[in-house]
Structure 1
Amino acid sequence: MAIQTIVPYTVASDMLSIKEIRDQLKDTGYPVTTDDIERWIREQGLYVEKYRRDVYVSYSDILMAHKDWIASKA
């Protein structure tokens, strides 16, 4: 019988650089800056990985923070 395991860390394919995330969110109608994304990372204590000069964070985590940010503006 197959069981689903709980993975305590983010799936690698979900990790994007802050600049890539900023570019993805620019067409949503609620564009953000890299400073906004970095603030959400700090405030929510999100897991990040640093590779060379880029910082990578879970796109799903940022989408949830973005949703909360939009809701707070309404």
Structure 2
Amino acid sequence: MAIQTIVPYSVASDMTELDDIRDQLKDTGHPVATTDIERWIREQDLYTEKYRHRVYVSYSDILMAHKDWIADKA
């Protein structure tokens, strides 16, 4: 019987470049700047990867941070 291992990092397909995340969040009605995303990464110590001078972070992690940010504003 095979078991799934627990991986402490995001699945590679979930890693998204910061500017792409910013562009996708524009359509939510609660747009953010890239600096906001960078702040969430620092505050929540989110895992990032750098590839060809671009920073990638888990899109799912940023969606959770975005949700919290919206809730704090309300």
TM-score interval (norm. to shorter): over 0.9
User: 4+ runs of 1 displaced by more than 6 Å?
Assistant: none
1:69 — aligned with what?
69
What are the Cα deviations for residues 1-39 of structure 1, in whole angstroms up to 9, with x where unaligned? 232321121100000000000011000000000000000
Q: State TM-score, norm by structure 2.
A: 0.95
Name 1:11's counterpart in structure 2: 11
Higher helix proportion: 2
Superposed CA RMSD in Å reads 0.8
Residue deviations 1:30-65, cap 9 Å, x none? 000000000000000000000111100000000000
Task: Indicate the residue corresponding to 1:2 in structure 2.
Answer: 2
Is 1:58 the counterpart of 2:58? The answer is yes
TM-score between the two structures when normalised by the length of structure 1: 0.95
